[in-house]
Chain A
Amino acid sequence: MRRMRWTWAPLGGTVLLLLLFSQAFSAPPQCQLGVPAIKLGVQGVASGPHADYGRQIQMGATMAIEEINAKGGILGCRLEMRFMDDENRPATGVRNARLLVTEYGAHFLYGTDSSGVAMALGPVLKELNRIQFFTHAATHRLTEELVAQQGIKQIVRVSAPVYQDAIAAWVFKDNPAIRRWATIGADYEYGYAVWGLFRETLRKFRPDVEFVGAAWAPFLTTDFTPHISAVMAQNPDAIIATPWAGEAVTLLRQAVLMGVFDKIQVWFQAMGGSVDVLEGIAREVQDGRFKGKLWATARYIHNWPNTQTNRAFVERFQKRWSRLPNYSAETTYSAIYITKAAVEKARSLETDKVLAALRGMQIVTPAGLRVFREEDHQFVYTVPAGRVVWSERYNMPVLGDLRIFDPKDYWRWPPFTPIPMGK
């Protein structure tokens, strides 16, 4: 019996060694940051007419996390995410941020669609000392005032701010036939900022233009006919509109019914290049009811830039979600890769060290090269504006007839001077 045990001993030892070796080669690498996982707190609108943006934020974040985890995480640390609906309400956004940091233990925060929510979050991020990568909220005040002036360093914006919406001034400044502009604006921070910046920019090029009318629609407006009618009473040549998501779709469809496109020369729907808006007006575009007069931009469009990085991203996104990526998906996806690059450089999750690692960062993302601007923690990149046209390739409308400008020209640069804002 004793002899037999000795006979099996070398074999058992060999098996044990093999097992140990296999563990060493197949186990996930140890997290070098000393945490069980890097926790990402994400929030956006997940209900109401703007819900697709929160959903796209969630889809973009999920895809980035899956890709990064499949390749071993960040410095061997797995990524985890918790998503919350901010309901487009500042109070909910603030409550979510506190919960995500204090209860969930989020190391970084992402998302936020509304400028109003973003402005409320700024001081809270300072108190919590957590970096939030903003991936949609667009008011220039978030970065110009809260970061550059007030020094809330925890704010980093990956998406293009309202400078992008004011690209309309650059697209149409050389058209002498368009002199009378009006707005149908979102009745909050974002709408006021776009109208203020657009007017300021256009006045520089065209002292002859007139701003003839403005109508303001609050969130959850379902009947825009009084706004359209009030603005059309001023006989504008062109309209710049800032309601977004489902409200943009409602506005555009009601404008078609009111015969607006028979009368004006251009309608610029600021974030009309967003996938949900393009899907929403697909029938009207296909039937030619905008008469080629509808223009738009976005904070990223899936059909530009024509790079391998972008094409591969769009393909993976479509495969994963059976939808095209909206800008809030791309910006959140890119924000997580920016986090990865910064944390790998800093080899730390500490706010100051990660912020230091962001300095001078230039990173290739699906939207193109993003460059970190240190003065206001804004990533700078290019997004075109274009005419809304039907695409046989995508079987839905896209932005075509693209107009591309250098951000050096149409973005605002420090030192920042206040933009006259308000209704």
Chain B
Amino acid sequence: MMNTVLYQGLVGISLAMYLWLISAGLTIIFGVLGVLNFAHGSLFMLGAYIAYTLYGMVGLPFGAAVLLSLAVVGAVGFAMERFFLRPLYHVDEAYQLLLTFGFVLVLDDAVKILWGGVFKIPPIPAFLDGAWRVFGRPFPVYNVFLITVGLLVGVVLWFLFERTWWGRIVRATASDREMAAALGVHVPRVFSSVFVFGAMLAALGGALGTPVRVVAPGIGSAMIIQAFIITVIGGLGNLKGAFVGSLIVGVLSAYGTLFFPVFELFFIFVIMAVVLLVRPQGLFGATR
């Protein structure tokens, strides 16, 4: 029994690390720009399609395909922020929400036109195929890889935001954009770089999912709901909150499936509701 519980926990952690990749970008963009980016799931989907095209169709190595998909989606993110979002920073937030929702529809239809409506299935790269024996059962190498990448991304993000000049500028801008501007920070440039960075994290999630998940129009919709739940639990705009929120959702989903299969979905929403009731700003969110 103990092995079963530990194994399911490990499965939950791998799910959590995947969700973390997606929710990290969402929460960074909200924390700095104050924009709740509905199109984050669509950028995730775009990352998956581009990685599929480069790896599954063109035949590039998986790693190269992932990196190139980050670059392409980063460019799309730059265009979204520079030419569409930026003119709306001075108007009501509802317009930004509407705009990003509009992008969901546009990008969903764009992938249908470009890649068709039928799902795509790239092969699994040889280095991710197979399983290791963990707690007496085979645990996929792919899931080990996801856990590693998730933790690595966590360390890189911590380093970037806490230990680099760019991180300090971003934190200063997030804290008080007028003061940052008065001190000579080029705020629009910071906004662009943060949005591009968030878009690339979404693409990373999409691209890394391709070896075991089908790529299809609308795959971002399910991910964005989970990412929103995570950011609400952790605190909107808080990176540490997104990490802990991902762990809560991932691990509890896995245990819910094992112990309470009838209520598994309900379980996650109950946790979100309890957090909102007890601590409306989320576990790590600051009161605004």
Task: Count how many pairs of residues, one from A and one from B, have CB atoms less than 8 Å apart in the complex.
Answer: 122
> Is A120 in the interface zone, CB < 8 Å from B?
no
With a CB–CB cut-off of 8 A, which chain B residues contact A216? 261-262, 264
Please measure, in the bound complex, the distance between the C-alpha atom of A26 and the C-alpha atom of B118, giving whole angstroms.
41
Task: Kindly supply a per-residue 1/0 record for chain A positions 157-171, scoring 1 wherever the CB is within 8 Å of any chain B CB and 0 otherwise.
Answer: 000000000000000
> Are B118's CB and A276's CB within 8 A?
yes
- Closest beta carbon of chain B to A111's beta carbon, Å: 15
Q: Which of A220, A229, A247, A249 contacts B8 (CB 8 A)?
A: A229
Stretch at the interface among A49-57, A99-107, A349-357: A49-57
Mask of A182-226 contacts with B, CB within 8 angstroms, 1/0: 000001000000000000000000000000001110111111011
Q: Is the CB of B11 within 8 A of A47?
A: no
Q: Are B222 and A280 in contact (CB under 8 A)?
A: no
Q: Is the CB of A229 within 8 A of B119?
A: no
Known: A48-B216, A423-B261. A259 touches B119 (CB 8 A): no
Beta-carbon contact of B131 and A257 below 8 Å: yes
Contact B140 A250, beta carbon cutoff 8 Å: no
Chain B interface extent, by class: 35 or more
Question: Do B8 and A258 touch across chains, with their CB atoms under 8 A apart?
Answer: no
> A233 to B124, alpha carbons, bound, how many Å?
25
From residue 238 to 288 of chain B, which have CB atoms closer than 8 A to chain A?
Answer: 253-254, 257-258, 261-262, 264-265
A-B CB contact pairs (8 Å), 14 listed: A47-B112, A47-B216, A47-B217, A49-B119, A49-B219, A51-B119, A220-B222, A222-B209, A222-B219, A249-B214, A254-B140, A258-B139, A280-B214, A283-B123
Which residues on A sit within 8 Å (CB–CB) of B143? Answer: 225
A215 touches B137 (CB 8 A): no
Q: How large is the interface on A (under 10, 10 to 19, 20 to 34, 35 or more residues)?
A: 35 or more
CB distance from A60 to the nearest CB of B (A): 15
B214 and A226 form a contact (CB under 8 A): no
Residue of B14, B129, B218 near A47 (CB, 8 A) is B218
Q: B135 to nearest A CB, angstroms?
A: 10
Partner of B223, one of A222, A225, A259: A222
User: A51 with B217: in contact, given A257-B142, A258-B138, A259-B131 (CB under 8 Å)?
Assistant: yes
B234 contacts the other chain (CB 8 A): no
Q: Which residue of B lies closest to A280 (CB)?
A: B121
- Across the interface, do A259 and B137 meet the contact criterion of CB distance under 8 Å? yes
- Interface residues, chain A, CB within 8 Å of chain B? 46-49, 51-52, 54-55, 187, 214-216, 218-223, 225-227, 229-230, 232-233, 245-247, 249-250, 253-254, 257-259, 262, 276, 280, 283, 423
Q: Does B161 contact A (CB under 8 A)?
A: no
Q: Which residues of chain B come closer than 8 Å to A47, judged between CB atoms?
A: 108, 112, 117, 216-218
Least CB distance, B215 to chain A, in whole angstroms:
9
Chain B residue numbers with a CB within 8 Å of A247 are: 214
Cβ–Cβ contact B219 & A48, under 8 A: yes
| Chain B residue nearest to A245 in the complex (CB) | B119
Given A187-B265, A222-B209, A246-B216, list of 17 further CB < 8 A pairs? Answer: A47-B108, A47-B217, A49-B216, A52-B117, A220-B221, A221-B222, A222-B213, A225-B140, A230-B261, A233-B8, A246-B119, A247-B214, A257-B130, A257-B142, A258-B137, A276-B118, A280-B121
The verdict on A226 contacting B121 (CB below 8 Å), with A48-B217, A187-B265, A216-B264 known, is no
- Helix, strand, loop or mixed for chain A's interface? helix
> Is B12 close to A, CB under 8 A?
yes
The residue that B212 contacts in the complex, of A48, A49, A257, with Cβ under 8 A, is A257
Q: Which of A214, A218, A223, A283 has the most CB of B within 10 A?
A: A223
* Chain B minimum-CB-distance residue to A219: B222
Contact between B262 and A246 (Cβ–Cβ < 8 Å)? no
Min C-beta distance of A235 to chain B, whole Å: 10
How far is it, in angstroms, between the C-alpha of A221 and the C-alpha of B265 when the chains are bound? 11
Contact A258–B223 (Cβ < 8 Å)? no
Most buried by B among A55, A229, A253, A423: A229
A258 to B129, CA, bound (A): 10
How many angstroms between the C-alpha atoms of A283 and B212 in the bound complex? 13
Contacts of B8 in A (CB 8 A): 226, 229-230, 233
B43 at the interface (CB under 8 A from A): no
CB-CB under 8 A from A257, the residues of chain B are: 124, 129-131, 140-142, 212
CB distance from B189 to the nearest CB of A (A): 35
Q: Hey, which chain B residues are within 8 Å of A219, CB to CB?
A: 222
Q: Please determine whether A51 and B15 come into contact, CB atoms closer than 8 angstroms.
A: no
Of A230, A249, A262, the contact of B257 (CB 8 Å cutoff): A230
In Å, the complex CA distance between A245 and B219 comes to: 14
Contact check, B216 vs A215: say whether CB atoms are below 8 A apart: no
Q: How far is the CA of A223 from the CA of B8 in the complex (A)?
A: 13
Check B123 against A280 for contact (C-beta < 8 Å): no
In the complex, A420 Cα to B12 Cα: how many Å?
A: 32
